[in-house]
Amino acid sequence: INLVILTMSVRRNVLNVVRNYSDAEIKVREATSNDPWGPSSSLMSEISDMTYNVVQFSEIMTMIWKRVNDHGKNWRHVYKSLVLLDYLIKTGSERVAQQCKENIFAIQTLKDFQFIDRDVKDQGSNVREKSKQLVNLLKDDERLKTERERAMKAKERFAQATTGIGSNHKVVYGHGSSTPKQRGTPEFQPSNSNRNAAKLGLDIEQARPQTAGEEELQLQIA
């Protein structure tokens, strides 16, 4: 399976060059790839920040809708696009939610998405469930406002906390990521501020898949 993943990655990179995709489009393609794992918080955070740029917003959404309309063996494209949309709706430009409302039919139709893999596993159920969750969120303005405010505040607090850690310790967090990357001595011991930052990082996960089924899918998406 590692060879298959490597092959897909190489093919994706070649297409990125051949089709002259922009940085924003490349990031969306990576976040919604067929690789057997979910999109990382750091990558989704980068894409979220890009939605505030008018040109990049258009590139991001065009690529996402293209992935959403995929089918069959590319079910991961569809599912990961919905995961990414969920994150962007809560932390990206308000234009994301507005465009999703205008194109809600494209998400609603996924309630009938079907794909049974060669192990006779219904992978389509993940897409169907996620599409229902997104539609319900988009139709509830009050809930959308509340969840967006919570996610934005958590992201801001976490960014401030990790900025302080980066200047005082040998632990550097990726942009928007709750996973530390250690540099230097392996004997590093996390301080209280590190643990507090990690706790704040958990708040950001409110903008990520939260059901047991989705958590399992992140671990066993293949």
Which helix (DSSP H) or strand (DSSP E) does residue 106 occupy?
Answer: helix 104-108
Q: How many domains does the chain have?
A: 2
Q: Give the pLDDT band (50/70/90) at residue 209.
A: very low
- 87 & 108 share domain: yes
- 77 & 135 share domain: yes
- 84 & 105 share domain: yes
Q: What is the C-alpha separation between 101 and 32, in angstroms, rounded?
A: 21
Helix (DSSP H) and strand (DSSP E) numbers for the chain: 11, 2
- 89 & 54 share domain: yes
Domain with 189, as residue range(s), is 149-205
The contacts of residue 214 (CB under 8 Å, 6+ apart) are 83, 126, 129, 130
Letter for the amino acid at 21? Y
Asked whether residue 8 is assigned to any structural domain, the reply reads yes
Task: Indicate the pTM of the whole model.
Answer: 0.70
Q: What is the C-alpha separation between 55 and 6, in angstroms, rounded?
A: 31
- 108 & 198 share domain: no
For the ranges 7-21, 39-53, 196-210, the maximum mean pLDDT occurs at 39-53
Q: Given this model, what pLDDT does residue 41 score?
A: 87
Asked whether residue 216 is assigned to any structural domain, the reply reads no
In eight-state DSSP terms, residue 38 is P
**For the chain, what percent of residues have pLDDT higher than 70?**
63
Asked whether residue 217 is assigned to any structural domain, the reply reads no
Asked whether residue 15 is assigned to any structural domain, the reply reads yes
